[in-house]
């Protein structure tokens, strides 16, 4: 069995994976994650339910995930058998570009109060637009992009406190 700690926004999950079963927070799950190519595209299947996921590594044990137009950053830590360190809460509101692209819309300004899931930035890459949603509720501390900004993968777009 391999144990991971996964943080998405302010939510934390304990994920156990073995050859015969998987558990999330101690609850058994019956699902399969099937790789659909080499570019981070997966299909999550649970019975007849299916969801396409796009997962890209961001470095520093972080992954950008996009499913059904919703974007999230997940921090994944493999358990080493020792007491787990807490996630760095200061970084949970950092919105980094999941891919390189061009900013086509910025929906917030510094000081705005926003809710988790609000569309903050619209990013375009290869003629496809991605809605970048707030990973946490809070106040917009800084905006590092403008309309037309060309972003590299992993570049900080917005910081939320």
User: Quick check: helix, strand or coil at residue 53?
Assistant: strand
How far is it, in rounded angstroms, from Cα 46 to Cα 57? 24
Shared-domain flag, residues 6 and 64: yes
* pLDDT tens-digit series, residues 30-55: 887 788 877 888 888 888 888 888 88
Judge whether 123 lies within some domain. yes
Task: Pick from 10-19, 91-100, 114-123 the range whose average pLDDT is largest.
Answer: 114-123
pLDDT at 82: 54
What HEC string does 60-128 produce? CCEEEEEECCEEEEEEEEECCCCCCCCCCHHHCCEEECCCCEEEEEECCCCCCEECCCCEEEEEEECCE
Regarding predicted confidence, which is higher, 90 or 10? Answer: 10
How far, CA to CA in Å, does 129 sit from each of 20, 69, 101, 132, 134?
A: 39, 9, 9, 9, 16
Chain mean pLDDT for the chain: 82
Shared-domain flag, residues 71 and 28: yes
Q: What is the tally of structural domains in the chain? A: 2
pLDDT at 114: 92
Task: Pick from 15-24, 40-49, 140-149 the range whose average pLDDT is largest.
Answer: 140-149
pLDDT at 120: 92
How far is it, in rounded angstroms, from Cα 30 to Cα 10? 25
* pLDDT tens-digit series, residues 63-105: 888 887 777 788 888 876 654 544 444 456 788 888 888 999 9
Boundaries of domain holding 145: 92-160
Q: Is 27 left (phi over 0), alpha (psi -120 to 50) or beta?
A: beta
User: Residue 121 above 50 pLDDT?
Assistant: yes
pLDDT at 125: 86
User: Residue 149 above 70 pLDDT?
Assistant: yes
Shared-domain flag, residues 36 and 8: yes
Shared-domain flag, residues 69 and 108: no
């Amino acid at each position: 069995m391999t144990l991971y700690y996964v943080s998405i926004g302010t939510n934390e999950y304990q994920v156990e994976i073995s050859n015969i079963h998987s558990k999330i927070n101690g609850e058994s799950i019956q699902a399969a994650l099937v790789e659909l190519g080499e570019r981070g595209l997966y299909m999550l299947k649970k019975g007849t339910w299916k969801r396409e996921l796009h997962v890209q590594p961001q470095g520093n044990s972080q992954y950008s995930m996009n499913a059904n137009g919703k974007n999230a950053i997940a921090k994944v830590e493999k358990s080493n058998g020792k007491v787990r360190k807490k996630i760095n809460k200061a970084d949970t509101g950092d919105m980094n570009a999941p891919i390189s692209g061009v900013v086509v819309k910025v929906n917030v300004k510094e000081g705005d109060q926003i809710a988790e899931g609000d569309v903050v930035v619209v990013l375009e890459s290869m003629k496809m637009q991605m809605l970048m949603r707030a990973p946490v509720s809070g106040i917009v501390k800084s905006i590092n992009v403008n309309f037309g900004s060309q972003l590299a993968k992993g570049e900080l777009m917005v910081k939320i406190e």
